[in-house]
Chains A and B, each alone.
Chain A
């Protein structure tokens, strides 16, 4: 059972907008630790997609955006493309565990 909670799956048609939620607690997201998002394409290593809750590393399209409020965070993907089909993970730091924590992952299906 992951410390951060994500929906197991989301889906959307090409061109649409989808969001993926990430719910934590007062010892991680609620403690004002940033949330980070990773994209994992099939058979590959995770790739940092969003860091510091809202920032995109160089090379990440602006179709991807992140937000955070209270003990939750969200990843939004606009203009959905077939190549976006992947697993997405949120991650933060937990002060009670004194360590890095991940969500259970969300599989995005592009219909």
Chain B
């Protein structure tokens, strides 16, 4: 059974750096084909893909946010970490981590519960 859970601060100040951790179980990020992504959703708005990391350390970023994002993995801890620099109130959102579908499908089949991050001074 695959599960994921996000953790991190609920409140950050403008200009600060956000660090979110996704702790997962039920799969290993050292297994070929595995990937974990981050998706966010501002209150009342649509989903937005942010970043994804594969088992082979291949990293993909949203072009619009690439300069602010870093995704890393710690295979031994079953964790994926996302950092986002220079936070702004418009970055207020629920941040989800999700398991990437296998078998060549570019989708997300298991999601964490999400963590709400508010950016405010």
Contact = CB atoms under 8 A, between A and B. Distances in A.
Contacts of A103: 46
Contacts of A102: 39, 46-49
A104 interface: yes
Interface stretch (B15-23, B24-32, B72-80, B110-118): B110-118
A99 B62 contact: yes
Given A46-B96, A51-B101, A89-B46, A100 B37 contact: yes
A57 B107 CA distance: 12
B49 A100 contact: yes
A111 interface: no
Contacts, number: 66
B60 A98 contact: yes
Contact-residue size bin, chain B (C-beta under 8 Å from the other chain): 20 to 34
A45 B46 contact: no
Interface in A76-109: 89, 91-93, 97-105
A45 B113 contact: yes
B116 to A, nearest CB: 11
Interface residues of A, number: 26
A47 interface: yes
A108 B64 CA distance: 30
Contact of A57 (B39, B109, B114): B109
Nearest to B110: A48
Interface string A41-69: 00011111001100001000000000000
Contacts of B62: 97, 99
A88 to B, nearest CB: 11
